[in-house]
């Protein structure tokens, strides 16, 4: 997914370097512990490659964030209000990627990360109104060097948890010193109310599934519905005052 024009350090020669290093150490138990060593070497290669790739993902985030800021500023010039409340971003940590790959039953290597983990680079855009979510998505997708790979509309089809958000997986072309790379980025676009639910849900439940009783789940869904109703009412009010 990320074509690379030239790379003078291949997986093969990093692996050879690591194996040589380990073979030279005094306590040479490589042969007796081959599977464990292979695993350690594999993880070391992955971790080293991750550091290199994190730079590419971070660069794609910077490029898309600038595009979002520009379309938002342009919208503000013409409409006297901003369709974007805030933009945040992150490159997923190595630990978090490893946990997600393990959860998906994937071997820990770079190819699997690139082809299966869509949200290594993530941008979150928070909008005041429901309509803004779709307008921001449209404005972004009109850009020539932004290609839509996948759309998940959890606003029209909320998750069982009550989670609502528009997720776009896009590919953006970024120019580096050795050529252009196509980098995938997940963009989550949602309203302030949807973000309130997502953030609190993330802390209460998302990472603590085991403690969630049916009663808590029901209460959380009620909160999600409250937020959704508030969004709909705010959207209607916005239309009444013609914004
Ligand atoms: P974190 O810690 O937020 O990064 P896929 O690989 O596309 O098949 P994936 O990646 O699970 O499946 O895609 P999905 O469902 O679009 O979810 C991606 C992200 O959306 C999650 O990332 C969360 O950020 C958010 N999300 C999804 N469902 C929920 C939910 O029920 N509650 C909350 N609060 N957030 C949710 P991560 O990596 O799982 O977690």
Q: Using pLDDT thresholds of 50, 70 and 90, give the confidence band for residue 41.
A: confident
Question: pLDDT by residue (tens digit) across 130-164?
Answer: 999 999 999 999 999 999 999 999 999 999 999 99
The residue among 68 and 16 whose pLDDT is bigger is 68
Ligand 1 atom closest to Cα of 162?
31
Residue 196 Cα to ligand 1 midpoint, Å, equals 15
Give mean pLDDT, residues 211-230.
Answer: 95
Please report, for residues 88, 118, 126, 219, 230, the alpha-carbon distance to residue 72 in angstroms, rounded to integers and kept in the order given: 14, 25, 12, 35, 24
Contact 133, 166 (CB under 8 A): yes
pLDDT category at 16 given cuts 50, 70, 90 is low
201 lines ligand 1 (CB under 6 A): yes
**Cα of 53 from ligand 1 centre, angstroms:** 21
pLDDT at res. 43: 80
Residue 108's pLDDT band (cuts 50, 70, 90): confident
C-beta of 205 in contact with ligand 1 (< 6 A): no
Q: Contact 183/56 with Cβ under 8 angstroms?
A: yes
The pLDDT, as a whole number, for residue 205 is 83
Q: Is 163 in the pocket of ligand 1 (CB under 6 A)?
A: yes
Is the per-residue pLDDT at 111 higher than 70? yes
Ligand 1 atom index nearest CA of 201: 34
Structure tokens at 119: 């949200």
Q: Which residue has tokens 């009444």?
A: 240
SS3 content of the chain, % helix, strand, coil (to 5): 55, 20, 25
Average pLDDT in the chain: 87
| Mean pLDDT, range 112-123, rounded to an integer | 94
Q: Show Cβ contacts of residue 78 under 8 Å, excluding neighbours closer than 6 positions.
A: none
- Cβ–ligand 1 distance for 189 under 6 Å, the answer no
Confidence of residue 23 (pLDDT cuts 50, 70, 90): low
Q: Which atom of ligand 1 is nearest to the CA of 199?
A: 34
Residue 34's pLDDT is what? Answer: 61
pTM: 0.84
What pLDDT score does 24 carry? 52
Ligand 1 atom having least distance to the Cα of 92? 4
CA of 122 to the centre of ligand 1 (A): 11
CA atoms within 13 A on the CB side of 191: 22
- Report pLDDT for 241: 93
CA angle, corner 181, sides to 42 and 94, nearest 5?
A: 35
| SS3 at position 11 | helix
Least confident of 19-28, 107-116, 137-146, 164-173: 19-28
> Does ligand 1 lie within 6 Å of residue 166's CB atom?
no
Atom of ligand 1 at shortest distance to CA of 198? 34
DSSP state of 143: S
Residue 210 DSSP SS3: helix
- Non-local (6+) Cβ contacts of 191 within 8 A are 126, 127, 128, 129, 130, 132, 133, 231
**206: Cβ below 6 Å to ligand 1?**
yes
Is 83 a residue whose pLDDT tops 80? yes
- pLDDT tens digit sequence for 190-213: 999 999 999 999 989 876 777 889
């Amino acid at each position: 997914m990320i074509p690379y024009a030239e790379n003078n350090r291949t997986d093969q020669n990093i692996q050879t370097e690591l194996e040589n290093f380990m073979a030279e150490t005094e306590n040479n138990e490589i042969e007796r512990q081959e599977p464990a060593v292979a695993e350690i070497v594999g993880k070391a290669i992955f971790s080293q490659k991750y550091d290199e790739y994190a730079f590419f993902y971070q660069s794609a985030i910077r490029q898309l964030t600038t595009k979002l800021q520009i379309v938002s500023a342009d919208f503000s010039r013409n409409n006297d209000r901003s369709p974007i409340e805030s933009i945040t971003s992150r490159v997923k940590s190595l630990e978090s990627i490893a946990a997600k790959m393990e959860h998906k039953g994937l071997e820990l290597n770079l190819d699997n990360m690139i082809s299966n983990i869509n949200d290594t680079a993530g941008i979150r855009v928070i909008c005041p109104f429901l309509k803004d979510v779709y307008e921001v998505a449209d404005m972004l997708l009109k850009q020539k060097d932004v290609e839509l790979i996948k759309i998940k509309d959890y606003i029209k089809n909320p998750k069982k948890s009550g989670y609502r958000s528009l997720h776009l997986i896009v590919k953006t072309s970024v120019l580096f010193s050795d050529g252009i790379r196509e980098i995938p980025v997940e963009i989550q676009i949602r309203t302030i109310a949807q973000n309130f639910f997502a953030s609190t849900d993330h802390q209460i439940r998302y990472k603590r599934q085991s403690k969630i009783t049916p009663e808590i789940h029901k209460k959380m869904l009620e909160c999600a519905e409250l937020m959704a109703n508030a969004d709909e009412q705010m959207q209607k009010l916005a239309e009444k005052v013609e914004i």
